[in-house]
Amino acid sequence: MVHLSDMAFPPLKNDLIIRAAFGEVVERVPVWIMRQAGRYLPEFREERKKHDFFTICQTPELACEVTLQPIRRFDLDAAIIFSDILVIPQALGMEVLMKTGIGPVFPEPLVHPADMDKLDANVDVSTKLKYVYEAITLTRQKLEGKVPLIGFSGAPYTLMGYMIEGGGSKTMSKAKKWLYTQPEASHKLLKLLTKVIIAYLIEQVAAGAQLLQVFESSAEHLGPALFEKYSLPYLEEIAAGVKQGITERGLGDVPLIVFAKGAYHSISKLSYAGYNVVGLDWTVDPNIARDFCPYSCSRQFRSMCSILPERGFDRKNDRNGSSVWSSELHCKPWSWNLS
């Protein structure tokens, strides 16, 4: 595989979000969108008429194209590679289908701990998920340095939830039952996912990713005690492992973002988990969150995408634009993320 150190990418013209992630005071709050390439874009809907979801994810040229679509339309400060957190369960050998009107479906979820024997515990993600890295490298070239490219992964508990529930869930009751009744098996699965995630994220950097985000989207289903037992230690291990791995491979210093949706109770602990940026969901007052984070840790505030007009936004005049947050947050190290 070709690695970042062997490639010559176009020089970066807008490093605002990278500087903010490293804690620098920036001239304005950088903006990007969580589901940046998605159904709100007519050009994306056209692609979906021609290709199913995972075909787009697994075809570097298509993933690159839909990644670039919002960058062409809006004045954003970062691109995020088009992929899905569930490529990791797929790499481990599980079948994942994307069903219209339903979302992701696992025909054969993990029901009993013995079902974990079906997983490929020795998977080589450098080859199994090669299509993601090829999409990242191609997108870095096509961006021509306009904005940085974000890579990402789901976090262990969130992936565990999908693998046990068989899809999305409003309660994660089956996955939570494992935590109470099968603690040893739960930790075994979380450790396997952590190992795979670390390798996956390092390879994304090697392919050209300039920032990384870890999505613990199901943290809202865990109270403080369960979060600190089954989520936080693995998030910490990922941050340490990725930083060590990219350093050993001479890939430079890449900022890490953690977004644990609903984990408002653990903002302070997350800020010491080894990440450069702690993501806050829209229910958290960012000014209060600042009191729980050290100044060396940047914050990323998640707002609602419905405020973004289809024509784009005017940073100076739109009351819902980033200029409002620049004023309220005094241009401290924040970024603004729409979802």
Query: Among all residues, which ones are annotated catalytic?
Result: 35, 39, 48, 84, 162
CA angle 209, 65, 206 (to 5 degrees): 20
Alpha helices in the chain (DSSP H): 16-21, 42-50, 53-58, 60-73, 87-91, 125-128, 130-143, 156-165, 173-181, 183-207, 224-230, 232-248, 267-271, 286-292, 322-329
How far are the Cα atoms of 95, 128, 254, 268 from residue 87, in angstroms, in the given order? 10, 10, 22, 30
Nearest to 201 by CA among 253, 157, 242, 233: 242
Residue 332: phi and psi, rounded to 5, are -70, 175
Supply the Cα-derived Rg of the chain in whole angstroms: 19
Picking from 65, 199, 198, 209, the residue whose alpha carbon sits closest to that of residue 136 is 209
CB within 8 Å of 185: residues ≥ 6 apart? 113, 116, 178
What distance in Å separates the CA atoms of residue 324 and residue 303, rounded to the nearest whole number?
A: 13
Count CA atoms closer than 13 A to 111's CA, side-chain side.
Answer: 3
The one-letter amino acid at 194: T
Task: Please state whether 289 falls in left (phi above 0), alpha (psi between -120 and 50) or beta.
Answer: alpha
According to DSSP, residue 295 is labeled T
In this structure, are strands 79-80 and 256-260 parallel, antiparallel, or unpaired?
unpaired
AA letter at 230: Y
| Cβ-contact 148, 211 below 8 angstroms | yes
